Amino acid sequence: MLKRLTLLLTAAVIATPAALMLSASVNAAEFKTTYDEILAAAKDEDAVQWCTGMSPKESQPIVDAFVALYPDVPEPNDFECFSEDATQRVVAEWSAGATQVDVLDTDTEILETLENENLTHVQDWSVFEGSPVEIDPRYLSYNGRIVSIGQAHRIIWYNPSLLSLEDAPKTIEECADPKYKGILAVDVRPSGFFEFMEDAGGPWSDDRARQWAADIAKNEPLWIRGTSQAFQVLASGERALICGHQLHGLFRSGRTDPNDANAVVQFIIPKQSVVRDYIRLGLAPEPLAPNGTLLFAAFMGSDKGQAAIASANPGYASPHIKGSFTQVLYEEAGAEILQATQEVLGPVTGKVKEIMLTEWGFPSPIPKKKKK
């Protein structure tokens, strides 16, 4: 059984002689330039060190699938590390040339910094074309700097004991209908709606988003935060409906069986549905296992990697893979996918938060504008 570690990074690691000696050995390693060379070199390297925010239940199936495909390559060491502090410490180590982590689950907030300051390795992923781990370009961003695995789907949850499928909304816009007044719950973080904005390729102008947010507020929702609370208030019957929440959250911790037609909380794929990268991976500029790192990252960005994370939770399945759990759902619903890269979403997120939080009247750094 793979020994799991919880990352306890400290800034002091960067300055230790052992860390610097380790970095010096890394400098002697080289990234190979063809698939066959990368695979051959990866077999002779140490195990890839993957610092992930996922639980072992979600990350281990990915590692297992990689090992099944490449049994002669050392098994990657997936260990939990989370929080903005952990991310910053890993990046600080990379900047100091004292690599301890090869692959890092990056926070959304740091992606632009990684790009602007060139803090991670940027790979030409075309070297994997025609290989078992060819990457779909839809899983790449920042010119190949970031590789993603898993997709987050923003959908509609409802309690069928309180709200029938026939009466439930079939679009995100319908969630603002006055008939849902008093039965609606809304997450205080409006992160499920960025892709609806025109700036992100969606249908909403700023004014339309503002009006929708105002109409939501008129429905007197129960304000919640996070998947656990969302499930609790719907399962208990405190509220009947929540819009723009994550599909995978329904299936975590055994909350709902994806195939249970009698589930306490059920879901609807909206006619326009947001799909977003789930885990975004950055690579160390000087990995401890350079070619193993490339091979493992390519695997995670390939259809095989996408299928592996979906085996842990079908709510992460890519709708771009024919026959996947979500591809079938979207096809059956006749749904349009709203999806944008992080480069596009970055400038949009702040504006959406300002518009919606202002209309919702939350205490926040954004003051509500006074009417003239």
* For the chain, the helix, strand and coil percentages under 3-state DSSP, each to the nearest 5: 45, 15, 40
Q: Is 108 exposed, middle or buried (0-12, 13-18, 19+ CB in 10 A)?
A: middle
Nearest 5°: the CA angle 176, 182, 216 is: 25
C-alpha 317/C-alpha 72 separation (Å) is 28
C-alpha 45/C-alpha 75 separation (Å) is 11
pLDDT tens figures, 234-252: 999 999 999 999 999 999 8
Q: What is the CATH T-level fold of the domain 152-276+322-360, as seen in this structure? A: D-Maltodextrin-Binding Protein; domain 2 (3.40.190)
What are the structure tokens assigned to 150, written together?
A: 């898993």
Q: Show the 3-state SS of 121-156.
A: CCCCHHHHCCCCCCECHHHEECCCCEEEEEEEEEEE
Helix or strand run (H / E) with residue 41: helix 35-42
Domains 12-150+278-316 and 152-276+322-360 share a fold: yes
- One pLDDT digit (tens) per residue for the chain, 372 residues: 333 333 333 333 333 333 333 443 444 458 999 999 999 999 999 999 999 989 899 999 999 999 999 999 999 999 888 777 888 899 999 999 999 999 999 987 788 889 999 999 999 999 999 999 999 999 999 999 999 999 999 999 999 999 999 999 999 999 999 999 999 999 999 999 999 999 999 999 999 999 999 999 999 999 999 999 999 999 999 999 999 999 999 998 788 898 898 999 999 999 999 999 999 999 999 999 999 999 999 999 999 999 999 999 999 999 999 999 999 999 999 999 999 988 899 889 999 999 999 999 985 443 434 444
The CATH superfamily label for domain 12-150+278-316 reads: Periplasmic binding protein-like II (3.40.190.10)
| Domain definitions of the chain by residue range | 12-150+278-316, 152-276+322-360
Q: Is 372 exposed, middle or buried (0-12, 13-18, 19+ CB in 10 A)?
A: exposed
The total of other beta-carbon atoms located within 10 Å of residue 155's CB is 26
